[in-house]
Structure 1
Amino acid sequence: MRRGIRGKGLSSHLDGVTDSPSPTDLNYSRWQQRDDCCFNWIISNIDASLINEVSQYETAFDLWDSLATTYGSGAEQFQISNLHRQAYNIKQGDLTLENLWQKLQDLWISIDTRHPNPMDSPESIEKYNQYIQRHRLYQFIWALDDTKYSKVKRDILNMDPIPSARKAYGLVRRESVNEKLLTLDSEIGVGLAVYDRSRTFTPQFNPPPRHPNHHKDEDKSRLICSHCGGKNTPDILAFISMDSRSGGKK
């Protein structure tokens, strides 16, 4: 936190290097503005349960000095202990597998930053890392949802040698993807079966094709003889029929 405030150019408000100017001073307004910024930045970065206890201080220096006196000696160890507690108690709940893994990664990075590997020789460093990785595997396995991943959790713990937490995450993620694909295939199959059963066969009536030379019987009631001009009479019809059979020859 001190580094962040120093980066904003407000470290003098924590160190008490310069006293606050008099309220009648022309620079007081600017100083008060910068001190309030520093004060609010500290408040926004401490535990919510401490805000009511420390918010009554007048200046950022008074606030910082109180925090350093009360919590300074064991603050780092308290933070490390709290990070370990979160890592062991985290549960997947409504989190996706990816979000759960990211939360664990963030906690582990914070722990490693505050509590780096204390070993010095290459062999001891490697053994310590293996020890840490095994505990992180347990943390990841315990955090997983039992109803979704009970089988793959047992399979991982039965492996010899036991995998790292990262490799275990890869195995669980692969299992999760395969499960989603199988569920999708099953849903598609059920949907197709329902659709197939819902289809009804409607026979189509196709009338027989008509002969291209087939025509409706012509209405001969209005025929007029081209020779005599007479209308449809039995004699005329007989004459026309005879005339058509003889090819018009007389």
Structure 2
Amino acid sequence: MTDDDKPKTSNDNKLMVSKNVTIAVKLNGTNYSVWARLMKIQIGSRRVLRHINGNPPPPEPGAADYTEWEETDLIVFSWILDNIETDIVIDFAHHQTTEALWKSLAVTFEGTSDPFLLFDLEEKAENVKQGELSLETYWRHLHGTWIDVDRCQEKRVTCCDKGVGQFRKYIETRRLFKFLTGLNPKYDQMKREVLKERPWPSAVVAYGWIK
């Protein structure tokens, strides 16, 4: 039995739920992956993950410890609702438990392959330029968009190992070139130095060198 599975005392619960939870982004229907990660960190840090993963299950209604469990569950439920955009909340507030709410959000928003969203993200990545941004901010915007693109892929390549390796190398090269072309002219000499390398480094490695 892990620490998360062990029953908590009333004092434990009061400590865990004594503060409101506010994360950096609200769920808006297109940012589920990062939202869910941030939300899970907040819930887990308060040692109440069992309310979203169903481990262990809630006590039976009428049991001696059910009221305390339900009170805590409602608080965790409210944390999630507080971090969802208002127009989405009304579609999910009817769920009776936090676990049901969490699973419903995952079914609705996780892992869906929206071709329009994927197109928008690819276009966004292509149009990212450093301009007046710092090198770090430029990289953060570009790399974050690539992460969103990868998460939106309908199906990852799973054929032969050689084909997968070639495809990944192709994507790495495309992203290296995109990163370099978006940099300001003051980095031109460094761009040429990067491109002299054989084999070409990944965009992540190139960013590290330039930084």
TM tier relative to shorter chain: 0.3 to 0.5
The higher relative CO (CA closer than 8 Å, separation ≥ 6) is in 2
- Pick the structure with greater CA Rg: 1
TM-score, normalising length: structure 1:
0.42
